[in-house]
Amino acid sequence: MEKHRRQYRGIPLILLLLLVVVTLLSIRYGAVQISVNEIFSSLRKYFTTPGTMTLNERIFMEIRLPRAILCLLVGASLAVGGVLMQALFRNPIVEPGLVGTSSGAAFGAALYFVMGATFKFNAGEWTLPFAACAGGILSTSLVFTLSQSKQTGKSSIVALLLTGIAINALFMSGVGFLSYIARDPQARSITFWNLGTLSGANWHSVIIIGISTVMCIAVALKYSKHLNALMIGEEEAGYLGINIKRLKLIVLLINVIMVAVATAFVGVISFIGLIVPHLLRILHGSDNRSLIRNGVLMGGILLSSADLTARMLLKPAELPIGIVTSVIGVPVFIILLRKKNYFF
C-alpha cells in the first residue's frame, strides 16, 4: 500500500506541471505569436496604463488569457461532470453529453439568444446561464425518468444510452430550428452549438463560469466519500448511513449547473467527461476524491491542448474544438464499450 501511495502522490504534481506547460503554450501560440516580454508588459500595463497597450498586448490580455483560463474552467467542469455522472449511474461510459445535459443546456441558451427579448424574465448577465441550466435540468431529468424501467424503477445502461440519443436528437433539432430563425449571429451558428468553440471567450464568461465551477466542485468534493459508497450499490450505501435520494438530487443538480453554464458560453463539447475519468482510473484507481481533484487538472490539460490544436491546425482559421475532442473521444468510447466487464 505504501508503495502505491507514493506513486499516487506524484500524479497531481505531474498533472499540475503539464497544466502549466500547456497553458503557457496556449497563451503564446495562435494566429498571432506573443513573446514572453509582451506577456509581462501587457500584465503590467493592464493595471497601470491600459491606454498605451500595443495590439499584441491587447490580444493577450483580452483574448488569449481569458481563453486560456476559460479552457481550464470548462475542462474542469466537464471532467468533474463526467466523474459525477459515472458515479451516479455506476457506469463508466456515461458523460454529460450522452445523458442530454449538454444539448438541453445548448437549447436553453439558444432559446435565450433568439427569444430572450420576448420573455419578461431578466436576471441581467445571469439570464443566459440561468436559461442554460433550465434547459439542462429539463433534458437530464427527461433522460433520467424515461430510461427508468416501469417494473424495477432502475435504469439499465442500454435504456439510458438510447433515451439519451433520442433526447439529444430532440434538443439539438430544437437548437437547429432556433438557429434557422435566429438573427443573433452567435445563435445563428449551428456549428457553435454542435461542435463547440472557445473563440467567444472574454472576462465576463470567465467570471460566470468560474463562479459556477468553483462552487460546484467544492460541493462535489464534499460528497466524494458518499459517491464512493455508491460504488457498492445504493442499498449498501444506505446501510452506510447515506441518504441516497438526497445524494442523487444534489449531485445531479451540481453536475447540471456546472455543465450547463459552461455549455451556454462554449457550446457542446463532448467526450472530455468520458476520457478524463477513464484515464485517471487507469492511473490511480476509482476513489472519487482523487478523481475529482485530478479531474480538475486533467480536464484543463485536455481541453487546453484540444483548443491549441483547434487553433494551430488550420492557422489562421480555427477548427471547432468539438471536432478535436471527438477524434480523441470516440476511440476511447468504443474501447470502453467493448470491455465486457464494464457492462450489464
Region from 74-82, 98-106, 112-120, 232-240 binding another protein, contact rule CB under 8 A = 232-240
Work out whether 241 is an interface residue with another protein (CB under 8 A).
Answer: yes
- Nine-digit cell string for 168: 439529444
Q: How far are the Cα atoms of 3, 107, 128, 203, 227 from residue 123, in angstroms, in the given order?
A: 53, 18, 9, 19, 33
Q: What is the dihedral of CA 213, 214, 219, 221, to 10 degrees?
A: 100
Q: Residue holding cell 479531474? A: 295
6-14, 27-35, 206-214, 221-229 -> range binding another protein (CB under 8 A) = 221-229
Residue closer to another protein by CB (options 45, 284) is 284
Of the residues 51, 235, 316, 340, which one makes contact with another protein according to CB under 8 A = 235
| Residue 239 engages another protein in binding (rule: CB under 8 A) | yes
- Alpha-carbon gap, residue 187 to 178, rounded angstroms: 7
User: Which CB sits closer to another protein, 161 or 321?
Assistant: 161
| 225 counts as binding another protein under rule CB under 8 A | yes
Total residues interacting with another protein, rule: CB under 8 A:
26
285 near another protein, judged by CB under 8 A: yes
Q: Is 199 exposed, middle or buried (0-12, 13-18, 19+ CB in 10 A)?
A: middle
Tell whether residue 281 is a contact of another protein (CB under 8 A): yes
Nearer to another protein, 181 or 240 (CB): 240
- Report phi then psi at 228, rounded to 5: -60, -45
Does 232 engage in binding with another protein (CB under 8 A)?
Answer: yes
Residue 7 within binding range of another protein, rule CB under 8 A: no
Counting contacts by CB under 8 A, is residue 284 touching another protein? no
SS3 198: coil
DSSP label of 155? B
- Residue length of the chain: 344
As a whole number of angstroms, the distance between CA 183 and CA 207 comes to 27
Cα 304 from chain centre:
12
Dihedral, 155, 161, 163, 168 alpha carbons, nearest 10: 140
50: DSSP letter: G
Of the pair 138, 229, the CB lying nearest another protein is at 229
List 91, 140, 205, 325, residue binding another protein (CB under 8 A): 91
Binding residue for another protein (CB under 8 A) from 236, 315, 335, 337? 236
Closest distance to another protein from the beta carbon of 173 (Å): 33
186 binds another protein (CB under 8 A): no
85 vs 321, beta carbon nearer another protein: 85
List interacting residues with another protein (CB under 8 A).
Answer: 1, 4, 86, 90-92, 225, 228-233, 235-236, 238-243, 281, 285-287, 341
